[in-house]
Structure 1
């Protein structure tokens, strides 16, 4: 291990999604100076370091789904001893559908500093390339593997008005798209992003029904991020006259003037003040 600093820390590294040139200068610096590099795939990290021309003098250890539970306390001990531990996954930011959350939580609970050398993210890259609304979005990660659980999750998401970002495995994408088209409607706009930043990058911007047919014709390969337009906003249902009168009466009983009560009810239900006033005085 290298020289101990006064304070050990955990550094999360945003790794290239595929193109090594996306690695930041800070990413390279941390690889070249960290005492320990915890990697989801040590061979992949070694290959990336070679592509970047970076020597990794620190100890490289594996940190993946299968050994997270056992290795986390070991790494926290190293950090507490004053060493720098870098965490890198196969692509994108650790913890985002990747190993990392458990170690971040354990380091924070132990009072250890946690920082990041931020970098590429498949979520925001796909969102930006999709051509779909990106001002409000939600990330759903991987859908459930079993068909029943997947359909249930999609039914619950069908009315979500924000743009959705999902990850899916190539061998499940055809079934997932068929279920999406069924739950959201075949005409819902979407974008299937495949092999982002790599040689064969492909972004298909088509309605869900068309994407489902495309995927059924041949199993797509590579890492897949799916972006789906949110459900169209629904107008709130107008309450009946009795409900409006009762709402105004409740506010008056609470001490509001008739004018303020009418204004408040109109704002609450998205109605014109004049319409509420007419109902109350009808």
Structure 2
């Protein structure tokens, strides 16, 4: 066990500074003051951070250094050397909290190893912002970051967590949300409650609440836009099927579009909706649909 109660008195400090996830008014006074006073600011994207600092009236000349996921391992020792030399350093990501699905872990680890004080400032994070307004159980919950992108890896992961009873939260990009919802239907079932929160704290903020089937149907006709937080309700033993045949048919269409045969897609959807395959087959092939 490592107990760190004293630090290198000659070294500077590492400040982990959150930035707004959308609305610039969410910048705290303490965060602004810290960025004004530190010697260096390690930024995920210096252009993005430069614009933010400019809007806040903070001078950036000579302070901004690049620190992102592709150079983090090489850059962290250099930044620690600067802190050990007495320079104070703030680390920021493009939006939200450093380290949370953003760069920062390597730098924090290196600073701790060098006996440098690490100061974490509180601030906005998209997943907690979405959670408290989702209507789903707020505790316990598990945050998973970004889901695997490849279909098999994603469905294997979703199958693994499908019977967990806590709320599950992950981030998703708009161009992948349809495939992810289809994979949720395949693994956790079409009747599981989900919430998709998009454009949080911005002008077009929106919470879409419903079953997996209902969200799949929604995005059949609405073009997904904006970065998204997906929240999935926990597994409930007594969960009753709620998806209609029309909603199930839309899911079949999505799976067919993703490359499955109609026969396999109907069988899969019927199984997860607790229906007979014949009932869904007859509806799918005989009911007129747009």
Deviation, 1:51, is 2.0
TM-score where L is the length of structure 1: 0.78
- Taking the TM superposition and a 5 Å limit, the aligned residue runs for 1:92-241 are 92-232=96-236
| 1:11 corresponds to | 15
CA contact (8 A) 2:10 2:84 kept: no
Write the distance in 1 (CA, Å) between the matches of 2:133 and 2:47: 30
The SS at the match of 1:53 is: coil
Count of residue pairs the alignment pairs up: 230
Q: Please, which of 36, 45, 48 is the counterpart of residue 32 of structure 1?
A: 36
Matched, 1:90 2:94: yes
| 1:278 corresponds to | none
Give the unaligned 5+ runs of structure 2.
Answer: 1-8, 239-290
Write the distance in 1 (CA, Å) between the matches of 2:66 and 2:220: 36
Write the distance in 2 (CA, Å) between the matches of 1:162 and 1:154: 14
Deviation, 1:219, is 3.7
Matched, 1:67 2:71: yes
TM-score where L is the length of structure 2: 0.76
Write the distance in 1 (CA, Å) between the matches of 2:28 and 2:59: 15
Deviation, 1:156, is 0.2
Give the unaligned 5+ runs of structure 1.
Answer: 235-282
- 1:184–1:54 CA distance, 2 compared to 1 (3 A): same
Which protein has the larger Cα radius of gyration, Structure 1 or Structure 2? 1
Runs of 4+ in 1 over 6 A off after TM superposition: none
- Cα distance per residue 1:181-203 (max 9 Å; x no partner): 22111111111010100111111
